[in-house]
Amino acid sequence: MPSGSLASEFGDTAITSVDGGRGVLAYRGYRIEDVVHHLGYESVVGLLLDDGPSDAARIVAELRDRRASPTELESVLDALPSETSIIDGYRTAVSAMNDVAQVSPPTRLQGMSLIARSPPIVARLYRRSAGKPPVEPDPRLGHVANFLWMVEGEPPPAERSRALERYFVLLADHGISASTFALRIVLSTRSDLASAVAAALGALKGPLHGGAPPEVLEMLDAVGSESEVEDWIDSALARKERLFGFGHPTYRVEDPRAALLRAFAKEVAAPARYALARRFEEVALARLAARYPDAPRRTNVDFYGAVLLEAVGLPRALFTPTFALARTAGWTAHALEQVSQDRLVRPPERYVGPPLRPWGPTG
């Protein structure tokens, strides 16, 4: 590893490119539209970590062999207060992963352990909150189908597993997002992977990042029917309330993931629910365009992501943790890239306080 050097900022990455002006997202140079239609999640893990399409069977085996959580980690989860949220319990569990914490710099093996163990942890936390016993991983199932199995305790239908896997693929990485930025800053200090992922989870849980999908469904619930959409949106905007699922700090055109999720959600959502979402989107886009003509606010990944997650049967308490599970692949890839660069990240600040002045009373 090269010796560390100070760097005020960073922006170089070979993992994911995000072109907000043209609406292009690519993993390792492959457009997301091609990736989601040709690769399963395990293959995407290999693509992000290994810089090219990997043998899916090898990645499946690597993840399957690392799914089981140590007994002491399960004891930590079971000892958490009953009111602990799933995302906070997951963050605690990451900190307690002895083979991921305390060792620096992070390794690919640590990253694979993180990716593999996270779904069983989140599923266990959910079932504990619901008063249900944990379900052990099924070695016959793939990464995403196994997560649904551990959440529900029964084999998931193929169409639901496929829909959720597409969600995982689309959310696997998105460049230097807020959570990834937090992760890379922590790792730039030569800290460990668990500390960095804990920081990433803290950023992700916020409603302006990974906490938005449940809010989308709350809006749709409040509207109730297609006939009420226009009045509800007009009233919300008059009160200056936020329309969740619209607007993105990067994209000035439609988020390519939103376009894909719109189609995928239609395949699995109840027709009435999808029709309500579609009508809400149409009216919201028209109203937002009229209100903000110079700063268009398009549909983002959260809107139809929420509709899809609901359609595959996940409870809303699992929406943000599921986002995090998908993003563990990207976080691991960025962790490995950051430690290979070995530069301390210190973003520049702009001082806006008073100018230099003498000490003591004035006047």
Q: Domains (ranges, CATH) in the chain? A: 55-206+319-345 (1.10.580.10), 213-311 (1.10.230.10)
Tell me: the pLDDT tens digits for 20-69? 889 899 999 999 999 999 999 999 999 999 876 667 888 988 898 888 87
Confidence of residue 9 (pLDDT cuts 50, 70, 90): low
∠ CA 121-189-108, nearest 5°, is 45
The Cα diameter of the chain in Å comes to: 79
Q: Check residue 8 and give its pLDDT.
A: 44
> What pLDDT digit, counting tens, does each position of 132-182 carry?
999 999 999 999 999 999 999 999 999 999 999 999 999 999 999 999 999
What's the pLDDT score for residue 5? 44
**3 pLDDT higher than 50:** no
Residues 40 and 139: their CA atoms lie apart, in Å, by 17
Q: How far apart are CA 30 and CA 18, in angstroms?
A: 12
Query: Residue 291: pLDDT above 60?
Result: yes
Backbone angles phi, psi at 18, to 5 degrees: -125, 115
Q: Categorize the per-residue pLDDT at 361 as very low, low, confident or very high, splitting at 50, 70 and 90.
A: confident
Is the pLDDT reported for residue 102 higher than 90? no
Mean pLDDT in the chain?
A: 91
| Reported confidence tier of residue 2, pLDDT bands at 50, 70, 90 | very low
**pLDDT tens column, 90-101:** 999 998 887 776
**Distances, alpha carbon 6 to alpha carbons 29, 265, 274, 282, 336, in Å:** 29, 45, 50, 48, 18
Whole-angstrom distance, CA of residue 100 vs CA of residue 192: 7
Q: Are 220 and 276 in contact (CB under 8 A)?
A: yes
Q: How confident is the model at residue 121 (pLDDT cuts 50, 70, 90)?
A: very high
User: What does the radius of gyration of the chain's CA atoms come to, in whole angstroms?
Assistant: 21
Q: What percent of the chain has pLDDT over 70?
A: 95
pTM metric for this prediction:
0.93
Q: List the beta bridge partners of residue 30.
A: 27
pLDDT of residue 6: 44
pLDDT tens for 227-256 read 999 999 999 999 999 999 998 878 788 899
Instruction: Please say if the pLDDT value at position 113 is more than 60.
Output: yes
pLDDT of 4 reads: 45
Provide the residue type at 151 as one letter.
V
pLDDT band at 362 (very low <50, low <70, confident <90, very high): low
Rounded Cα gap, residues 164 and 274, in angstroms? 16
Segment 200-234, tens digit of pLDDT = 999 999 887 888 889 999 999 999 999 999 999 99
Query: What's the average model confidence in pLDDT over 349-355?
Result: 92
- Helices 158-170 and 319-341 cross at an angle (nearest 10°) of 40
Structure token pair of residue 23: 């609406």
Q: Which of 332, 319, 329 is nearest to 86 (CA)?
A: 319
Please report the sign of the dihedral spanned by the C-alpha atoms of residue 347, residue 348, residue 353, residue 358: positive
Task: Give the span between the Cα atoms of 176 and 346, in whole angstroms.
Answer: 15
d(CA 249, CA 253): 11
Q: What is the pLDDT of residue 166?
A: 98
| Structure tokens, 304 | 């139809």
How far, in Å, CA of 133 to CA of 127, rounded?
A: 6
* Residues 237, 247: Cα–Cα separation, whole Å: 14
| Helix 56-64 vs helix 41-50: crossing angle, to nearest 10 | 100
Q: What is the pLDDT of residue 35?
A: 96
Give the residue numbers marked as catalytic: 248, 302
Q: What is the DSSP string of 214-252?
A: HHHHHHHHHH-SGGGHHHHHHHHHHTT---TTB--SS-S
Q: Which pLDDT value is given to residue 27?
A: 96
Is the separation of the CB atoms in 74 and 198 below 8 Å? no
Strand, helix or coil at 202?
helix
